Amino acid sequence: MTQLITGIFILFFAAVLTPALKHKTRDVFFVIAVVSASCLVLFSSFSALYTGTTQTLSFDRDIFGTVRLEIDPLTAFFLLIFALIGGLGAFYTVGYHSGHGRSSAGQFFFYPLLLASMMALVLVRNGLAFLFCWEMMAIFSYFLIMHEHEKKEVQDTGMEYLIFMHVSLVFLSIGFALLSIKSGSFDFAAWKKLPSPYLIRIFPLLIAGFGLKAGLMPFHVWLPKAHPAAPSNVSAIMSGAMIKTGIYGLVRYCTLIESIPIWTGVLVLVLGTVTAVFGILTALGQKDIKKVLAYSSVENVGIIGMGLGLGLIGNSLGNLPLSVLGYSSCLLHVFNHALFKTLLFFGAGSVFHATGERNVELLGGLSRAMPWTTFFFLCGSVSISGLPPFNGFISEFLLYSGLLHCALLKSSGLIVLAVAAMAYLSFVGVMSMMCFGKIFSIAFLGISRSGSEQTCATSESTLSMLVPMGLLSSACLVAGLVPSLLLGFTSHAVSQLARGTENFSVIPSLNRISQMSLAAIIVSALVYLMRCSILKFQGIRTAVTWGCGYQNLSPRLQYTGSSFVSRFLVLMKPVLNSQITYREPSGAFPVSSSFESHSRDLFEWLFLYPVRKSFRFLKDYFGWLQTGSTQQYIRYGLVFLLLTLLGVLGMNR
Can you tell me the mean pLDDT for 618-646?
A: 76
pLDDT tens digits for range 475-491: 998 888 888 788 877 88
Question: What amino acid occupies position 378?
Answer: L
240 pLDDT exceeds 70?
yes
Q: What is the pLDDT of residue 58?
A: 76
633 pLDDT exceeds 80?
no
Run of H or E including 178: helix 152-183
Run of H or E including 591: none
265 pLDDT exceeds 70?
yes
Task: Give how many domains the chain has, as a whole number.
Answer: 2
Answer whether residue 195 is part of any domain: no
Q: What is the pLDDT of residue 390?
A: 87
Give the Cα separation of 234 and 146 in Å (integer). Answer: 10
Q: Among 233, 231, 224, which Cα is nearest to 86's? A: 233
504 pLDDT exceeds 80?
no
Coil, strand, or helix at residue 345?
helix
Q: Is the dihedral of CA 367, 368, 369, 373 positive or negative?
A: positive
For residue 61, count CB atoms less than 10 angstroms from its CB and return exposed for 0-12, middle for 13-18, buried for 19 or more.
exposed
616 pLDDT exceeds 80?
no
Give the Cα separation of 246 and 451 in Å (integer). Answer: 43
Can you tell me the mean pLDDT for 263-291?
A: 89
Give the Cα separation of 78 and 383 in Å (integer). Answer: 20
Three-state helix/strand/coil letters over 436-493:
HHHHHHHHHCCCCCCCCCCCCCCCCCCHHHHHHHHHHHHHHHHHHHCHHHHHHHHHHH
Q: How far is CA 383 from CA 332, 337, 490, 513, in A?
A: 13, 9, 19, 15
594-599 and 65-71 strand pairing: unpaired
Can you tell me the mean pLDDT for 248-252?
A: 92
Answer whether residue 420 is part of any domain: no
Domain that holds residue 649: 622-653
Q: How far is CA 190 from CA 72, 203, 258, 630, in A?
A: 18, 17, 13, 48
Phi, psi of 388 (to 5 degrees): -70, 155
- 615 and 649: one domain? no
**Most confident range, picked from 13-22, 394-403, 548-557:** 394-403
Residues facing residue 596 across a β-bridge: 581
- 639 and 615: one domain? no
Q: What is the DSSP letter of 603?
A: H
Answer whether residue 559 is part of any domain: no
601 pLDDT exceeds 80?
no
Answer whether residue 521 is part of any domain: no
Q: What is the pLDDT of residue 462?
A: 85
Lowest-pLDDT range of 107-116, 313-322, 528-537 = 528-537
Q: What is the pLDDT of residue 609?
A: 67
Percent of residues, the chain, with pLDDT higher than 90: 23
503 pLDDT exceeds 70?
no
- 598 and 643: one domain? no
Answer whether residue 486 is part of any domain: no
pLDDT tens digits for range 538-582: 766 766 666 555 556 666 667 776 677 767 776 766 666 666 677
- 628 and 644: one domain? yes
pLDDT tens digits for range 422-446: 999 999 998 899 889 888 888 888 7
Q: What is the pLDDT of residue 556?
A: 65
User: How many CB atoms sit inside 10 A of residue 505's CB?
Assistant: 11
Answer whether residue 224 is part of any domain: no
Who has greater pLDDT, 616 or 434? 434
215 pLDDT exceeds 90?
no
Can you tell me the mean pLDDT for 626-647?
A: 79
Give the Cα separation of 109 and 16 in Å (integer). Answer: 7
Please list, in sequence order, all residues whose beta carbon lies within 8 angstroms of the beta carbon of residue 295, skipping any fewer than 6 positions away. Answer: 223, 224, 279, 280, 282, 283, 286
Give the Cα separation of 26 and 21 in Å (integer). Answer: 5
Hey, what's the torsion of the CAs at 368, 369, 375, 381, to 10 degrees? -90
Can you tell me the mean pLDDT for 282-300?
A: 88
Lowest-pLDDT range of 92-101, 196-205, 304-313 = 92-101
Answer whether residue 269 is part of any domain: no
Q: How far is CA 547 from CA 448, 553, 592, in A?
A: 18, 9, 21
Q: How far is CA 559 from CA 347, 361, 363, 439, 525, in A?
A: 22, 9, 11, 12, 29
Q: How many residues does the chain have?
A: 653
455 pLDDT exceeds 60?
no
Answer whether residue 643 is part of any domain: yes
**Prediction pTM value:** 0.87
